[in-house]
C-alpha cells in the first residue's frame, strides 16, 4: 500500500512538474468555458449542462490520450522502468499507480468546471441530479479512455505512438458502433451498440445512472489495465 | 548470497550467456569483467530479477530471483548501467520516493535518507532538480538511491562510466567502504578499479566465465604462464663502425659493446630472449607498455639522427634499453642479471621487472578467445616479436 501510494503520488505530481499537465488543464478549461458560454449561458435556455457534457466527451477523446501517453512510454524510453521493476514492486502495482494518478489528474482537470455549476446556481435553479450523473458519466468515460491509453503507453516507448494508438482505438471504439451499429442485422446491432461508450453516455446525460452502464465502464477499464499488466510482464517470457 | 547455477540466456536465437555458474558469499566484493557485449549487463539484470534466465536459476539471499522475485529484490540495491533517474524530481524527493518504494518505515525514513545523502556527499545538492546536476552528482544520486534501504547485496553496473578521475576515486572509496559489511557485485571495464576494489574477479567473454579468482591469484597464474619481462637500461659504447651500418656480425647480433652485453645476458640461466629495445634517448620514466621493437634499420637511423642529443658519456656511448624475456618458470631474474652486469662492469641505471596487471590477464584471455579455443591460454602481448631478436 505504501508503495502504491508512493508511486501514485510521484506520478501525479510529475504531471505538474512538466508543462504538459498545465497545458492540458488550461486547454480543457478554456475550451469548455467557450462551450459553456455559447450553449448554456443564454437567456431563455434551460438551466442544464446536458449539451455541454456531450461536447466534453469530444474533448476527452483528445485529452485522455494526451494524459496517458507518457505514463509508461516515458519510463521505457529513459529506462527508469529498470530501477522501478527491480525494486520490490510488482507490475500490477506499477500499472495501478500510473492509472490512479491519471484518473486523479482527470479529476483535477474537471474540478475547475465546478465554477459553471456555481454560475448556473446563482442565475437559475438547476436540477442537480442530471449534473451529478453527467459528471459521473464523464469520469467513467475518462477512466475507460485512460485505461486504453495506459495499455497503449505500455506497448511503446514512443509517446507520439502511444497518443496516436490511443486516439485511433478510441475513435474505433466510439464512432464505429455509433455510426454503423444501428444499420446492422438483428443480433449484431444490439451487440455492437452494447460496447459503444458513446451510446451508453446518453443515459448519463439524461441523468440516468444505470448500474449496467457503470459496470460496463469499470469492467472495460479493468480489462484494458489487465492487458497492460500482461504487456509489462511479457519481458519475462521473451 | 548470490548463487547462479547453469544459467543460459537467449535473445531470440542469440545466446548472450552460456552455462554461467558462480557463487558469491557474504561480504565478498566481486568484479564482473568483460569486453563490450560479453554479457555483463545481461548477467546483472538476471541477478536483479529484471530479466529471467532462459534456463538455470539464480538465487539472492536464498530467494529465487524469478519465483520469489519480490523477496529477492528486497535485499538488493541496484544501480543500473545508464543510471536512469527522473530529471524533473528534486534529489530529496527522489530519495524519499525510493525509500517508500523499498518499504522503509516512515519512522526510519528520514534517518535512512540522511545516511544516504551523507554517504554519497549529496548534502549541498539535496534540494536541486536531478536534471540540473552534473553527471558525477547524478551518479551519486543513483548510488544513494541504491543504498537507501540498507541492502545486504549491492549490484552496480559500470558505476564509474562517464566520471572524471577524482570521481572514480571517490566511487572506489565508497565501494570499499560499503563492502565492509555487504556483498557487492560490480561490473566494470575499468580494470585498475576492479583490481583495487575487488577481492575476486569473474571474467566473462562471450557469455562464458573464462576466469574466476582473486586478482593476485589470477596474476600469479599469468606470471607462471607468461614470465614477466625484465627491462634494463644501460650505457653502451657503440662506436664500432659495423654497428652504425646496421650489419649483423657472426655473433648473431650487434657488434661492439651491445653485442657483448647481449651475449653475456643470454648466458644467464633462465634467460630466453634478449631484445634491443630502443636506441633513442631513453626517458627515465618507464612506459606502461614497451614500444614495439623497431626494425634494425630504423633503430640505427634513430641513433644517427639523435646522435647529438643522446646522453653522450663521451664519444659514441649512450643509453640503451634491453628487454629480457625469461624462460617458463623463471619469474624473477633481477639478481642474476644485476650480478652479470656488475661482473662485466656495465653501467646500468634501471632494472625493472614488469609485473603483469589485470589488463594483461584480460587481454590474454580475449586474445586466446580470438585465436580460437584450441590455443592454450593465449599469447602474451608483452612478449616481443621473436624476429626482432
Higher pLDDT, B231 or B305: B231
pLDDT for A98 beyond 90? yes
Q: Given pLDDT bands bounded at 50, 70 and 90, which one contains residue A107? A: very high
Residue with cell 547524478: B138
Contact assignment for B76 to A18 by CB distance below 8 Å? no
- Kindly state the helix (H) or strand (E) to which residue B55 belongs, with its residue range: strand B55-60
Residue with cell 548470490: B2
Average pLDDT over residues B187-209: 82
Q: Which site among A2, A87, A157, A238 would you substitute to test the B interface, given the most B Cβ atoms closer than 10 Å to its Cβ? A: A87
Instruction: Tell me if chain B has a CB within 8 Å of the CB of A10.
Output: yes
The CA-based dihedral angle spanning residues B196, B197, B202, B205, taken in that order and rounded to the nearest 10 degrees: -70
Average pLDDT over residues A31-39: 83
Q: Given pLDDT bands bounded at 50, 70 and 90, which one contains residue B223? A: confident
- Chain B nearest-CA residue for A4: B101
Contact assignment for A79 to B82 by CB distance below 8 Å? yes
Q: Which site among B84, B97, B105 would you substitute to test the A interface, given the most A Cβ atoms closer than 10 Å to its Cβ? A: B84
CA pair distance B169, B174, nearest whole angstrom = 9
* Alpha-carbon Rg for chain B in angstroms: 27
Q: Is B264 exposed, middle or buried (0-12, 13-18, 19+ CB in 10 A)?
A: middle
Contact assignment for B84 to A236 by CB distance below 8 Å? no
Closest Cβ opposite residue B50 in set A2, A78, A86 = A86
Angle at A128 between CA A126 and CA A133, to 5 degrees: 130
Q: Given pLDDT bands bounded at 50, 70 and 90, which one contains residue B379? A: very low
Would the CA dihedral through B315, B320, B326, B331 be positive or negative? positive
Determine how many CB atoms are found less than 10 A away from the CB of residue B129: 16
pLDDT 10s digits, B246-300: 444 433 344 457 788 888 888 888 888 888 876 555 444 444 444 444 444 344 4
Is B157 strand, coil or helix?
A: strand
CA pair distance B9, B41, nearest whole angstrom = 12
Contact residues, chain A, for B86 at CB < 8 Å = 10, 14, 78, 80
CA pair distance B299, B45, nearest whole angstrom = 52
φ, ψ at B17 (rounded to 5°): -135, 130
Q: Where are the alpha helices (DSSP H) in B36-180?
A: 40-47, 69-74, 91-101, 106-119, 135-147, 165-178
Q: What is the pTM of this model?
A: 0.78
Sheet containing strand B63-64, edge to edge, reads: B14-24, B2-11, B55-60, B63-64
CB B319 within 8 Å of CB B235 = yes
Q: Given pLDDT bands bounded at 50, 70 and 90, which one contains residue B166? A: confident
User: For residue B33, what are the β-bridge partners?
Assistant: B188, B203
pLDDT of residue A76: 93
Higher pLDDT, A182 or B200: B200
SS3 per-residue string spanning B16-51: EEEEEEEEECCCCEEEEECCCCCCHHHHHHHHCCCC
Whole-Å CA distances, B189 to B178, B312, B359: 20, 44, 10
CB A201 within 8 Å of CB A144 = no
Amino acid at each position: 500500500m505504501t508503495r502504491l501510494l508512493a508511486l501514485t503520488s510521484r506520478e501525479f505530481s510529475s504531471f505538474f512538474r512538466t508543462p504538459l499537465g498545465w497545458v492540458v488543464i488550461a486547454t480543457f478549461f478554456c475550451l469548455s468555458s467557450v462551450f459553456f458560454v455559447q450553449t448554456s449561458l443564454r437567456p431563455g435556455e434551460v438551466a442544464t449542462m446536458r449539451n455541454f457534457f456531450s461536447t466534453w466527451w469530444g474533448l476527452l477523446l483528445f485529452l485522455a490520450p494526451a494524459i496517458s501517453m507518457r505514463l509508461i512510454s516515458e519510463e521505457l524510453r529513459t529506462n527508469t522502468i529498470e530501477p522501478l521493476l527491480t525494486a520490490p514492486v510488482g507490475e500490477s502495482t506499477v500499472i495501478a499507480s500510473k492509472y490512479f494518478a491519471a484518473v486523479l489528474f482527470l479529476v483535477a482537470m474537471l474540478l475547475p468546471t465546478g465554477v459553471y455549476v456555481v454560475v448556473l446556481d446563482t442565475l437559475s435553479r438547476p436540477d442537480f441530479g442530471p449534473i451529478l450523473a453527467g459528471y459521473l458519466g464523464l469520469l467513467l468515460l475518462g477512466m475507460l479512455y485512460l485505461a486504453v491509453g495506459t495499455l497503449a503507453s505500455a506497448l511503446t516507448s514512443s509517446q507520439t505512438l502511444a497518443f496516436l494508438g490511443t486516439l485511433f482505438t478510441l475513435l474505433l471504439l466510439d464512432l464505429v458502433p455509433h455510426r454503423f451499429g444501428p444499420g446492422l442485422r438483428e443480433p449484431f446491432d444490439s451487440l455492437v451498440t452494447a460496447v459503444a461508450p458513446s451510446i451508453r453516455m446518453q443515459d448519463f446525460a439524461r441523468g440516468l445512472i444505470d448500474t449496467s452502464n457503470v459496470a460496463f465502464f469499470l469492467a472495460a477499464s479493468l480489462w484494458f489495465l489487465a492487458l497492460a499488466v500482461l504487456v509489462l510482464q511479457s519481458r519475462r517470457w521473451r | 548470497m548470490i548463487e547462479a547455477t547453469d544459467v543460459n540466456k537467449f535473445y531470440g536465437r542469440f545466446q548472450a550467456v552460456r552455462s554461467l555458474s558462480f557463487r558469491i558469499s557474504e561480504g565478498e566484493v566481486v568484479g564482473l569483467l568483460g569486453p563490450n557485449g560479453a554479457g555483463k549487463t545481461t548477467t546483472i539484470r538476471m541477478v536483479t530479477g529484471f530479466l529471467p534466465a532462459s534456463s538455470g536459476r539464480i538465487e539472492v539471499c536464498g530467494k529465487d530471483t524469478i519465483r520469489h522475485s519480490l523477496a529477492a529484490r528486497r535485499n538488493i540495491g541496484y544501480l543500473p548501467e545508464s543510471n536512469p533517474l527522473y530529471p524533473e524530481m528534486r534529489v530529496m524527493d527522489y530519495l524519499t520516493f525510493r525509500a517508500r518504494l523499498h518499504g522503509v518505515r516512515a519512522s526510519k525514513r528520514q534517518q535512512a535518507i540522511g545516511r544516504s545523502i551523507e554517504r554519497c556527499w549529496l548534502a549541498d545538492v539535496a534540494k536541486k532538480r536531478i536534471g540540473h546536476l552534473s553527471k558525477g552528482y547524478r551518479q551519486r544520486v543513483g548510488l544513494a538511491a541504491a543504498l537507501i534501504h540498507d541492502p545486504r547485496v549491492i549490484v552496480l553496473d559500470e558505476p564509474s562510466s562517464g566520471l572524471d578521475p577524482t570521481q572514480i576515486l571517490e566511487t572506489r572509496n565508497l565501494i570499499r567502504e560499503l563492502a565492509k559489511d555487504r556483498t557487492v557485485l560490480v561490473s566494470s571495464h575499468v580494470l585498475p578499479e576492479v583490481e583495487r576494489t575487488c577481492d575476486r574477479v569473474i571474467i566473462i567473454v562471450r557469455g562464458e566465465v573464462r576466469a574466476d579468482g582473486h586478482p593476485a591469484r589470477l596474476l600469479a597464474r599469468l606470471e607462471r604462464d607468461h614470465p614477466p619481462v625484465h627491462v634494463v637500461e644501460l650505457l653502451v659504447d657503440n662506436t664500432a663502425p659495423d654497428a652504425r651500418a646496421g650489419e649483423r656480425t657472426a655473433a648473431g647480433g650487434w657488434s661492439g659493446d651491445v653485442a657483448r652485453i647481449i651475449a653475456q645476458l643470454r648466458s644467464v640461466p633462465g634467460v630466453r630472449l634478449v631484445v634491443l629495445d630502443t636506441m633513442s634517448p631513453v626517458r627515465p620514466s618507464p612506459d606502461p607498455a614497451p614500444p614495439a621493437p623497431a626494425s634494425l634499420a630504423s633503430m640505427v637511423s634513430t641513433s644517427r639522427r639523435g646522435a647529438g642529443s643522446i646522453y653522450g658519456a663521451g664519444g659514441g656511448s649512450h643509453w640503451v634499453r634491453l628487454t629480457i624475456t625469461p624462460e617458463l618458470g623463471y619469474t624473477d631474474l633481477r639478481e642474476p642479471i644485476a650480478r652479470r652486469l656488475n661482473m662485466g662492469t656495465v653501467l646500468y641505471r634501471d632494472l625493472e621487472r614488469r609485473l603483469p596487471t589485470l589488463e594483461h590477464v584480460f587481454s590474454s584471455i580475449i586474445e586466446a578467445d580470438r585465436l580460437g579455443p584450441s590455443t592454450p591460454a593465449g599469447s602474451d602481448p608483452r612478449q616481443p616479436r621473436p624476429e626482432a631478436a
